[in-house]
A and B are shown apart, each in its own frame.
Chain A
Amino acid sequence: MKKRTSPIKHYLLAFVLWLGISTGVFYLIFPYYAQAILFLAGHLLSLITPIGVDLAYVDRVGITLTYPGIPQAMVFRTNLFSIALNWIFAPALVLTTVTFSFKGQAVVRVVNALLIMLVLHTLHVTLILLYFLTQATNPLIPPDFPTILSGLIHWLYVFIDKMGYTLFPFIAWLAVCFKDIVNLFEKSQTAR
């Protein structure tokens, strides 16, 4: 005998389960993830600045930036842990969707989602650094740095500061699970 029940609670319970696992993984790997973000952000900065920079994350303080000739490290009081906390949603969203629709390639898709998050977090951190560096005269920023680019950096900084936290995991989810999400909706419509 079969009983028809709503799958919503199953979906949400699966999501909570994956979220718990994902949170645990995030706590374990965060120091390495932070290093990866800063390594990539340093390379992105070097595309703009004429001087090589060295970035480091200091727990509960923020990001430190040093470059040759600077007497003391510049400190950006930004909580990278908090910035990257939305990371936990990307694998949880993907795994919930993939396991629910019983489609394969879960690992590949999770890795893809995490790579998207890594790119987004790297861009976010680079924007934070660029925003503060372009606020005042700094040897890291070339004197002929276009004003329009400074304006764009400022706009993007504010935009991502306000919206990025909620937006990033969903971008990763939609990018790797779009077909599954649409299929879920179509199944839902068929069941009406």
Chain B
Amino acid sequence: MTEGSVRRSFITCGVIFFAVFIGLYIIYGLAEPLMEHYFNWLATTVAAAAAWFDPAVSARGNLIFYEGTAALRVIEGCDGITVFILIAAAVLSFPKPFKQRLLGIAILIPVLFVINWLRLFILAEVRFYVPDWFQLFHVYLFQPFMIFATFACFIIWILRHEKTDVAH
């Protein structure tokens, strides 16, 4: 690639990336009234999974209860939408055939959804059994972890066909 084509590609990708990112963010904002159902669903499924190990766990609305006391509230920011938007914008703006981009999104968003659900499940468990560690897990471990997971998904998508020669 020449310097000129790299620059043009960079500008095109940057414009598409920010257009998709901000467009999806606006849609996310417009869909806010519907998000309550998603938060409730996340709380219900996480509580159901946790109740499989400990029947003291239950859910009502977006709240997860432990032994009858509200322990965790699933709200904006817990939903994983930020990383879904980020990966969608990154993949859609990447200078490759459109079909590959759509396939990338169709696979990577469900993967990140599962990772985020597992994050919520672990957070709930930490909240119930080691509440002193909740802040550490919630802010300092899982927020960076979600960025790491997004990066890992993006790199796997980029490198998925590559093989490297390793001398033996």
Contact = CB atoms under 8 A, between A and B. Distances in A.
B55 interface: no
Which of B83, B143, B159 has the most CB atoms of chain A within a 10 A radius of its CB? B159
Interface stretch (A84-92, A131-139, A146-154): A84-92
A86 B139 CA distance: 11
B68 interface: no
Interface string A25-44: 00000000000000000000
A69 to B, nearest CB: 36
Contact of A189 (B21, B156, B161): B161
Nearest to A11: B155
A15 B152 CA distance: 9
A59 B144 CA distance: 20
Contact of B148 (A1, A2, A19, A185): A19
Interface stretch (A103-111, A119-127, A175-183): A175-183
Contact of B9 (A3, A82, A182, A191): A182
Interface in A1-22: 1-8, 10-12, 15, 19
B25 A163 contact: yes
Contacts of B76: 162
A93 interface: yes
Contacts of B22: 159
Interface of B is mostly: helix
B20 interface: no
A86 B90 contact: no
Given A3-B166, A85-B143, A166 B155 contact: no
B155 A8 contact: yes
A11 B165 contact: no
Contact of B1 (A10, A89, A179, A184): A179
Interface of A: 1-8, 10-12, 15, 19, 79, 82, 85-86, 88-89, 93, 159, 162-163, 165-167, 169-170, 174, 178-179, 181-185, 187-189, 191-192
Given A10-B164, A85-B143, A178-B10, 20 more contacts: A1-B168, A2-B167, A4-B163, A4-B166, A7-B162, A8-B155, A15-B148, A15-B151, A82-B140, A86-B144, A88-B144, A163-B86, A166-B82, A166-B86, A166-B146, A170-B151, A174-B10, A182-B9, A184-B159, A189-B161
**Those 5 A-B pairs whose CB atoms lie nearest each other, nearest first:** A4-B163, A188-B162, A7-B164, A192-B161, A191-B162
